[in-house]
Structure 1
Amino acid sequence: LCLQLSSVTLQLLLNLTSIYFVFYFLFTLSLIIKKSLELPYPSDALTNDVGLLVLFAALEFLHFYWGARGNLTESDSYMFGNLIMTVATILLAVYFLVWQTYVMRADVIISSVLITVYGADGVLALSTLAKFRREYL
């Protein structure tokens, strides 16, 4: 008897999160460009915001890859890595929600949606990891 432990819901949410993140990245980059042209944006702050956005994209790639791979192969280590990346990406989303140089209403809306999706992703990843651990112990 072969028992499938991977979560279809988690896989769908990971895919939707990655699609939303592409929109989020492009929209946030556009807003940063708009703000830098219209507002007195210190150059070091501009570099910081753009650098963190690029780091955010790299971490989102790892978040998706480790989550999808961990879920499909039922791997504890990849799922644990996914959870670590979920925390890191939530912290970066909070940065863009609260601490970036200029925060517009659009930043608040898109970052809040992203944090909510990451929260659901984290809960599903944690429950899937618990399912893996319970079955393999």
Structure 2
Amino acid sequence: MYIYKLTYLNYPVHVEVCELIIIILFLPIEALRISWAHRGNLTETPTYISFSLLLGLGVIAICLYLGFFQGYVLLIERIVACIEGGFVILESMFGVVAVASFSRPVSIAET
């Protein structure tokens, strides 16, 4: 979509560069967020899940920008950004539940 927009729509150069940087930075942030959530779930460690929740805030901010605030927003971009934002919010709600579950004290009778 980015290449399509650069080809057919008039973009100032500084906007092209800024949006390309945002898109390039989005991939490692999202990969790290998913990796930490996965690792925290497997090891039942609330620390990794908490860091994943913090990165989730950044991912939601990027989704909001890509879906609503960039120079030209295509309908398909808005739909994809809303779907991804919904999934991130859903994953964050499950993450909060997991952190609460993994953080509770374990009594001697349960072990």
Question: What is the TM-score with the length of structure 1 in the denominator?
Answer: 0.75
**Does 2:104 align with 1:129?**
no
**Does 2:28 align with 1:58?**
yes
Amino acid at match of 1:68: H
Amino acid at match of 2:66: F
Amino acid at match of 1:57: L
**Does 2:73 align with 1:73?**
no
Residue identity (%)? 25
1:38-117 mapped onto 2 (5 Å cutoff): 38-117=8-87
Task: For residues 29-79 of structure 1, give each alpha carbon's deviation from its aligned partner in whole angstroms, at most 9, with x where no partner exists.
Answer: xx1111111111111111111110111111001111100001101112101
In structure 1, distance between residues paired with 2:7 and 2:46? 46
Task: For residues 70-106 of structure 1, give each alpha carbon's deviation from its aligned partner in whole angstroms, at most 9, with x where no partner exists.
Answer: 1101112101101001111011000101111110111
1:15-30 mapped onto 2 (5 Å cutoff): none
In the alignment, structure 1 segments of 5+ residues that lack a partner are 1-30
Higher relative contact order (CA 8 A, sep 6+): 1
| Stretches of 4+ aligned residues off by more than 4 angstroms | none
CA contact (8 A) 2:46 2:98 kept: no
Cα 1:136–1:87 shift into 2, 3 Å: farther
In structure 2, distance between residues paired with 1:107 and 1:136? 46
Name the count of aligned residue pairs. Answer: 107
In structure 2, distance between residues paired with 1:71 and 1:119? 17
Amino acid at match of 1:44: H
Deviation at 1:136, TM superposition (A): 4.9
Amino acid at match of 2:40: G
